[in-house]
Chain A
Amino acid sequence: MRPGTGRRAERLAPYVLVAPAVLIIVVLRLWPLLLGVNFSFTGDGALNGTAVGLDNYRDLLDDPLFRTALRNVGLLVLLLPVAVAIPGLLATFIYLRVPGHRLFRSVYFFPAVLSPVIVGAIFNLLLAYDGPLNAVLGGAGIGPVDWLGNPNVAIFAVVGVHVWATFGMALVVFLAGFATLDAALVDAARVDGASLRQTIWHVIVPGLSRTIQFVFVTTMIGLLTSMFGLLYIMTSGGPEGSTYLPEYYIWIQQGQMNRPALASAASTALFVIMLVVGLLQIGLLRRAGRED
Chain B
Amino acid sequence: MKQRALWSAVLVAALALAGCGSAADSGSSSGGSAGKLVVWDWKSGDASAASYIEKAKADFAKRHPGVTVEFVAQPFEQYYTLLGAAIQSGKGPDVMLFNGGGQIRDRVDALLPLDQYVDEDKQRLAGWDAFTKDGKVYAAPVTLQGHPIYYNKALYQRAGLNPDRPATSWSEFVANCAAITKATGAKCFAQGNKEGIGIQFFMSGLGSGILSPREYDDWVAGKRDWNSPGVKRIFALWKEVNDKGLNNDGANSTAMFNDAFAVFQSSKAAHVIGLMSDIGHWKDFAEFLEAGNVGVMTSPVVNAGTTPSLPYDGGIGYAVAKWTKDPKVAAELVRSLTSAEALKAFHADAGAIASDTTIDVSSAGPAVATIVSEIKDGKPALHVALSSKTVDLMGRLSQQLLSGSITVDKAVEQLAATDQAG
Where the two chains meet, the residues of A that have a C-beta atom closer than 8 Å to any C-beta of B are 25, 28-30, 32-33, 36, 45-46, 48, 124, 127-130, 144, 146-151, 221, 225, 228, 235-236, 238-241, 247, 250-252, 254-258, 260, 267, 270-271, 274-275, 277-279, 282-283, 286
Smallest CB-CB separation from B391: which chain A residue?
A256
With a CB–CB cut-off of 8 A, which chain B residues contact A283?
5
In the docked arrangement, what's the CA distance between A274 and B11, Å? Answer: 11
CB contact between A36 and one of B21, B194, B252, B405 (< 8 Å): that residue: B21
Please, could you name 12 A-B residue pairs with CB atoms under 8 Å apart, sorted by A? A129-B249, A129-B253, A129-B254, A130-B249, A151-B405, A235-B194, A240-B400, A240-B405, A254-B23, A254-B81, A257-B392, A267-B21
The reply to whether the CB of B16 lies closer than 8 angstroms to some CB of chain A is yes
Smallest CB-CB separation from A285: which chain B residue?
B5
With a CB–CB cut-off of 8 A, which chain A residues contact B194?
148-149, 235-236, 238-239
With a CB–CB cut-off of 8 A, which chain A residues contact B10?
275
Q: Contact flags (1/0) for B64-107 with A, using CB distance below 8 Å?
A: 00000000000000101100110010000000000000000011
In the docked arrangement, what's the CA distance between A172 and B78, Å? Answer: 35
With a CB–CB cut-off of 8 A, which chain A residues contact B14?
25, 29-30, 33, 271
With a CB–CB cut-off of 8 A, which chain A residues contact B23?
254
Distance from A237 Cβ to chain B, minimum over Cβ atoms (Å): 9
Helix, strand, loop or mixed for chain B's interface? helix
* Given A33-B14, A238-B195: A282 in contact with B5 (beta carbons within 8 A): yes
The reply to whether the CB of B218 lies closer than 8 angstroms to some CB of chain A is no
Helix, strand, loop or mixed for chain A's interface? helix
Contact present for B18 and A29 (CB under 8 Å): yes
Smallest CB-CB separation from B22: which chain A residue?
A32
Where the two chains meet, the residues of B that have a C-beta atom closer than 8 Å to any C-beta of A are 5-6, 8-23, 78, 80-81, 84-85, 88, 106-107, 109, 194-196, 248-255, 259, 388-389, 392, 395-396, 399-400, 403, 405
In the docked arrangement, what's the CA distance between A275 and B10, Å? Answer: 6
Smallest CB-CB separation from A247: which chain B residue?
B20
With a CB–CB cut-off of 8 A, which chain A residues contact B392?
252, 256-257
Contact present for A221 and B16 (CB under 8 Å): yes
Contact present for A146 and B20 (CB under 8 Å): no
Contact present for B249 and A144 (CB under 8 Å): yes
With a CB–CB cut-off of 8 A, which chain B residues contact A251?
81
In the docked arrangement, what's the CA distance between A255 and B15, Å? Answer: 22
Contact present for B84 and A255 (CB under 8 Å): yes
Contact present for B250 and A282 (CB under 8 Å): no
Contact present for B81 and A238 (CB under 8 Å): no
Contact present for A271 and B109 (CB under 8 Å): no
Which of A147, A225, A254, A256 neighbours the largest number of chain B CB atoms within 10 Å of its CB?
A256
* Given A45-B109, A238-B399, A239-B194: A128 in contact with B16 (beta carbons within 8 A): no
Contact present for A270 and B253 (CB under 8 Å): no
In the docked arrangement, what's the CA distance between A129 and B11, Å? Answer: 44
In the docked arrangement, what's the CA distance between A240 and B404, Å? Answer: 11
With a CB–CB cut-off of 8 A, which chain B residues contact A30?
14
Contact present for A275 and B9 (CB under 8 Å): yes
With a CB–CB cut-off of 8 A, which chain A residues contact B80?
255-256, 258
In the docked arrangement, what's the CA distance between A164 and B405, Å? Answer: 30
Contact present for A270 and B9 (CB under 8 Å): no
CB contact between B250 and one of A129, A225, A286 (< 8 Å): that residue: A129
Smallest CB-CB separation from A279: which chain B residue?
B9
Top 10 closest pairs, chain A to chain B, by CB: A129-B250, A149-B253, A255-B81, A149-B252, A148-B253, A275-B13, A271-B17, A274-B13, A239-B399, A279-B9
With a CB–CB cut-off of 8 A, which chain A residues contact B20?
225, 228, 247, 250, 270
Contact present for B13 and A254 (CB under 8 Å): no
Contact present for A33 and B17 (CB under 8 Å): yes
Contact present for A225 and B16 (CB under 8 Å): yes
With a CB–CB cut-off of 8 A, which chain A residues contact B6?
279
In the docked arrangement, what's the CA distance between A254 and B78, Å? Answer: 11
CB contact between B399 and one of A128, A129, A240, A277 (< 8 Å): that residue: A240
In the docked arrangement, what's the CA distance between A53 and B396, Å? Answer: 30
Smallest CB-CB separation from A273: which chain B residue?
B13
With a CB–CB cut-off of 8 A, which chain A residues contact B18?
28-29, 32-33
With a CB–CB cut-off of 8 A, which chain A residues contact B395?
238
Distance from B103 Cβ to chain A, minimum over Cβ atoms (Å): 8
In the docked arrangement, what's the CA distance between A149 and B16, Å? Answer: 31
Distance from B316 Cβ to chain A, minimum over Cβ atoms (Å): 17
In the docked arrangement, what's the CA distance between A283 and B106, Å? Answer: 46
Distance from B161 Cβ to chain A, minimum over Cβ atoms (Å): 26
Distance from A245 Cβ to chain B, minimum over Cβ atoms (Å): 10
With a CB–CB cut-off of 8 A, which chain B residues contact A46?
109
* Given A45-B109, A240-B403, A255-B78: A130 in contact with B250 (beta carbons within 8 A): yes
CB contact between B84 and one of A236, A241, A254 (< 8 Å): that residue: A254
Contact present for B84 and A146 (CB under 8 Å): no
Contact present for B8 and A128 (CB under 8 Å): no
In the docked arrangement, what's the CA distance between A286 and B389, Å? Answer: 46
* Sample of 15 more A-B contacts, CB < 8 Å, known A149-B253, A260-B85, A283-B5: A48-B109, A129-B250, A130-B249, A150-B252, A151-B405, A238-B396, A239-B399, A240-B399, A240-B400, A241-B396, A254-B23, A270-B17, A270-B21, A279-B9, A286-B5
Distance from A52 Cβ to chain B, minimum over Cβ atoms (Å): 16
* Given A149-B252, A247-B20: A29 in contact with B81 (beta carbons within 8 A): no
Smallest CB-CB separation from B88: which chain A residue?
A260
Which of B12, B78, B80 neighbours the largest number of chain A CB atoms within 10 Å of its CB?
B12
With a CB–CB cut-off of 8 A, which chain A residues contact B389?
257
Distance from B23 Cβ to chain A, minimum over Cβ atoms (Å): 8
In the docked arrangement, what's the CA distance between A26 and B40, Å? Answer: 32
CB contact between A128 and one of B17, B107, B253 (< 8 Å): that residue: B253
Contact present for B252 and A146 (CB under 8 Å): yes
Contact present for B388 and A257 (CB under 8 Å): yes
Which of A129, A149, A247 neighbours the largest number of chain B CB atoms within 10 Å of its CB?
A149
With a CB–CB cut-off of 8 A, which chain B residues contact A144?
249-250
In the docked arrangement, what's the CA distance between A91 and B14, Å? Answer: 33
In the docked arrangement, what's the CA distance between A9 and B179, Å? Answer: 91
